[in-house]
Amino acid sequence: MTVRVFNPPRPGRAAATIGIALLTMLTMLFVALAADLPALTGRVVDNAGIIDAATKAALTQKLADFETKGSDQIVVATIPSLDGEEIEPYANRLFRFWKLGQAGENNGVLLLVAKNDHKMRIEVGYGLEGTLTDLHTKLIIENDMV
């Protein structure tokens, strides 16, 4: 005689599978709605068109000289708009997408200006957080840039 044991599906397992599927779809939707990231075309990426050619050339040279002297990499980027995204996550995504700084040192800096949103952010790699703190970046934006 054969005894069959009925194992009904666990409700928790089905709910977890559905939850993971929903989370995946929401993540894909968020990524699709997030503002597009520009290509890294140099030390100054002026997609908002607010830096004249002479200033861009001078700034590019200063940033190149700075990187040669100390290896820290600084990139200046302007964009027309964040398309509704907050500047902090956008700057972080852009910083990671561009892979700023040296891989082992994580010594990159991104200065981002969103023209139409009137927002600025300085994103700093982990290797420079002790040198260029949140307070320093805030003071640079408030006292020098604004």
The pLDDT score that the predictor gives to residue 13 is 63
Domains and CATH numbers, the chain: 44-145 (3.10.310.50)
> Per residue in 113-137, pLDDT tens?
999 999 999 999 999 999 999 999 9
Q: Give all strands of the β-sheet with 108-114 in edge-to-edge order.
A: 44-46, 73-79, 108-114, 119-124
Number of Cβ within a 10 Å radius of residue 132? 18
Give phi and psi for 109, each to the nearest 5: -135, 135
Own/partner contacts of 60-68, CB < 8 Å, gap of 24 or more, are 67/43
> Per residue in 29-81, pLDDT tens?
554 445 689 999 999 999 999 999 999 999 999 999 999 999 899 999 999 99
115 close to 79: Cβ distance less than 8 angstroms: yes
The pLDDT score that the predictor gives to residue 11 is 54
